[in-house]
Amino acid sequence: MTNMSLVTTFILLGLPRAPELDTLLFGIFLVIYVLTVVGNLLILLVIIVNPHLHSPMYYFLTNLSFIDMWFSTVTVPKMLMTPVSPEGSPISFPSCVAQLYSFHFLGSTECFLYTVMAYDRFLAISYPLRYASMMNERMCAILATTTWLSGSLHSAAQTALTFHLPFCRPNQIQHYICDAPAILKLACADTSTVEMVIFVSIGVVASGCFLLIVLSYTSIVHSILKICTSEGRWRAFQTCVSHCIVVLCFFGPGVFIYLRPGSKEVVDRIVAVFYTEVGKKALLKFKDKVVYSQSK
């Protein structure tokens, strides 16, 4: 990556807000962060110690919990510093690069993982007798490794495109984290091509994953309707509905932030905070519900 930047430090200003809200924002961010980390650690512990949960579904859920925990960890600590720093929270250029890479790496991997989990549910419901042989340990490891590698490569491309530009304008980022739309505003060069490439890249990944998830669940619904008993249909439906809700919570804000045409203003940053913080509560509830219901 060629770096011609004259900027060595960025200042994260967060959202425009009244100073009296800083304490409230700090408390909200801190509580949600602690709940997210502790909740995911408990989920990982339950899955590890319970032999009945050593199945493909929970193998992927373990990956999801790990991603969720680190997704918050790479963003929230800096978010916590912003409300208590009147002049904004400073972040070095290398740290900003690392945060952007980690943010997109974990986000992309999570996107791919939701697709794999939909495929897993498709096999479990549509081919119950062949499921154990089709989704064996080797296949689980291959699918999980593929999601992590794909997320890493996709994030590397986004990060390289963003930070190869020269930065010589004011270094104040109107955001709580280092994210591409906010950083590109500070570049002292034409960013239209970079923005278009990032737009297309994220669009292809997001739409491709979402399409595969929709296709999986279309087949799942078709299979559920073939189940003879209402109890069997309900149990099959229960294993999928929470995943569908969280998929919508994940893709909805992401599409709004990165794929909506036009400038990325305050509303986008508010949605981004929801995306990285508040939205994690829905994900945590989903995982807790799945672990509880399937371990009974």
- pLDDT tens by residue, 216-225: 888 888 888 7
Q: Show the DSSP H helices in the chain as ranges.
A: 22-49, 56-73, 76-81, 93-126, 131-134, 137-163, 180-184, 192-225, 230-258, 266-273, 279-295
* pLDDT value at residue 136: 92
Q: Work out the percent of the chain whose per-residue pLDDT is above 70.
A: 80
DSSP 185: T
Q: Which residues of the chain have pLDDT under 50?
A: 1-3, 263-264, 266-267, 270-271, 278, 281-282, 285, 289, 292, 295
DSSP 275: I
Give the three-class secondary structure for 256. helix
Architecture of domain 9-162+170-295: Up-down Bundle (1.20)
Phi, psi of 12 (to 5 degrees): -85, 115
Side-chain-side CA neighbours of residue 153 (13 Å): 9
Length of the chain in terms of residues written = 296
Dig out the tokens for 51 from the structure: 């032999």
DSSP string across 11-25: EE--S---GGGHHHH
Cα 166 to its chain centre, rounded Å, is 28
- What is the pTM assigned to this prediction? 0.80
DSSP 172: E
* pLDDT value at residue 1: 47
* 290, amino acid identity: V
The pLDDT tens digits for 173-195 are 888 888 888 888 888 888 888 88
* Distances, alpha carbon 74 to alpha carbons 102, 155, 191, 193, in Å: 7, 14, 26, 28
* pLDDT value at residue 185: 86
* pLDDT value at residue 177: 84
